[in-house]
């Protein structure tokens, strides 16, 4: 806090003390201002001429709320039950669409969950089956500012920009330092890590042993170049998922990630080969159905029609 001991020249006589009630009334606003306010909040005030916005996220499977430690029923074409194992994803290129149809980038607040370029949405709480690699802390929001105006839509990308993707997580700033989201064998990050443990496990072709978890890991593949030695990394298949909602109100709506939609056409009890589940491989049998949901081209790793046909995310009233 600011101290006022030497605010007046020494040659001036000190003023007479104020009556105690009046002194307290005058001091309180100064104390609150110096210490950041009395509400205990950490939100950064929006700059003049702009407004703060929050984009909320939630996890569901159809109409069921999804959370760690609670069974999710009726998943995939076998309609199996499953426990959530992990649910985290990076989001970038966050923008709103104004009433003139113009795309306006959101200036992200910098925090443990956000850099100025990317945010980590974390919808697991480290309990139940999520205890394997999860954390207690959650982040169901993206926070930032936009110029004052009227906004009617939203655009986002599930993914990390290439310039930030191929860096050492061990020395990266938050939230790029999450070891569970690092993808060392592809020299980058998992853009999305969505995992469930289906009842009955996951049968795999011999000689592979059955597994407990069906993995969906989205990230750039076909990458060359070693960032540790200073080489530029290039990836044949970027696998960054674009999605948008033409009608979206950040004050009254939220973004729902729908696991029932994600596993449409997928048998969670069976893996036909390659990596367990879908780990973004162009020849992975399980990725065919998953990529249709994401509106990503399995061969090129690029969005189909700007991601307009994706069904993983939907807008819903708060």
Q: Tell me if the bond preceding 175 is cis, omega within 30° of 0.
A: yes
The confidence score (pLDDT) of residue 261 equals 98
Whether 307 maps to a domain, the answer reads yes
pLDDT tens digits, residue range 80-136?
Answer: 999 999 999 999 999 999 999 999 999 999 999 999 999 999 999 999 999 999 999
| Averaged pLDDT, groups of 10, the chain, 318 residues long | 36 40 38 34 63 98 98 98 98 98 98 98 98 96 98 98 92 95 86 98 95 97 86 93 98 98 98 95 97 98 97 98
The confidence score (pLDDT) of residue 186 equals 73
Q: Is 3 helix (H, G, I), strand (E, B) or coil?
A: coil
Whether 27 maps to a domain, the answer reads no
State the residue range of the domain holding 100.
50-317
The confidence score (pLDDT) of residue 45 equals 61
Q: Would you state the structure tokens that stand for residue 179, as one six-digit string?
A: 């070891």
The confidence score (pLDDT) of residue 227 equals 81
DSSP structure class, residue 76: T
Whether 37 maps to a domain, the answer reads no
Residue 95 near residue 117 (C-beta atoms within 8 A): no
Whether 136 maps to a domain, the answer reads yes
The confidence score (pLDDT) of residue 100 equals 97
> φ and ψ at 260, to 5 degrees?
-60, -40
Whether 30 maps to a domain, the answer reads no
Whether 152 maps to a domain, the answer reads yes
CA distance 278 to 296: 13
Q: Tell me if the bond preceding 207 is cis, omega within 30° of 0.
A: yes
* Inter-CA distances, 222 with 147, 157, 164, Å: 39, 20, 17
Whether 3 maps to a domain, the answer reads no
CA distance 68 to 272: 27
> 269's torsion region: left (phi>0), alpha (psi -120 to 50) or beta?
alpha
| pTM for the predicted model, two decimal places | 0.85
Number of domains in the chain: 1
Whether 126 maps to a domain, the answer reads yes
Distance of CA 167 to the CA centre of its chain: 18
């Amino acid at each position: 806090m600011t101290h006022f001991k030497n605010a007046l020249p020494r040659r001036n006589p000190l003023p007479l003390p104020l009556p105690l009630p009046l002194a307290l009334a005058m001091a309180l606003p100064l104390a609150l201002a110096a210490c950041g306010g009395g509400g205990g909040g950490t939100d950064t005030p929006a700059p003049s001429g702009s407004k703060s916005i929050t984009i909320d996220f939630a996890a569901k499977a159809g109409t069921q709320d999804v959370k760690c430690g609670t069974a999710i029923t009726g998943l995939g074409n076998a309609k199996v039950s499953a426990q959530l194992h992990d649910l985290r994803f990076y989001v970038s290129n966050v923008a709103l669409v104004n009433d003139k149809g113009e795309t306006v980038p959101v200036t992200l607040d910098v925090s443990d969950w956000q850099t100025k370029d990317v945010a980590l949405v974390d919808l697991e709480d480290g309990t139940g089956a999520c205890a394997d690699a999860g954390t207690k802390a959650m982040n169901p929001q993206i926070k930032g500012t936009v110029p004052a105006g009227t906004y009617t839509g939203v655009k986002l990308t599930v993914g990390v920009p290439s310039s930030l993707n191929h860096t050492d997580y061990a020395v990266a700033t938050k939230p790029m330092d999450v070891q569970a989201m690092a993808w060392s064998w592809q020299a980058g990050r998992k853009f999305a890590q969505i995992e469930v443990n289906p009842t009955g496990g996951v049968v795999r072709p011999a000689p592979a042993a059955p597994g407990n978890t069906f993995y969906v890991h989205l990230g750039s593949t076909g990458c060359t170049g070693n960032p540790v030695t200073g080489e530029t990394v290039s990836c044949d298949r970027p696998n960054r998922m674009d999605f948008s909602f033409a009608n979206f109100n950040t004050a009254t709506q939220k973004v729902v990630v729908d696991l029932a939609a994600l596993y449409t056409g997928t048998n969670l009890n069976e893996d036909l080969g390659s990596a367990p589940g879908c780990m973004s491989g162009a020849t992975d049998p399980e990725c065919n159905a998953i990529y249709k949901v994401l509106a990503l081209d399995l061969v090129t790793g690029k969005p189909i029609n700007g991601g307009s046909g994706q069904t993983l995310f939907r807008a819903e009233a708060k």
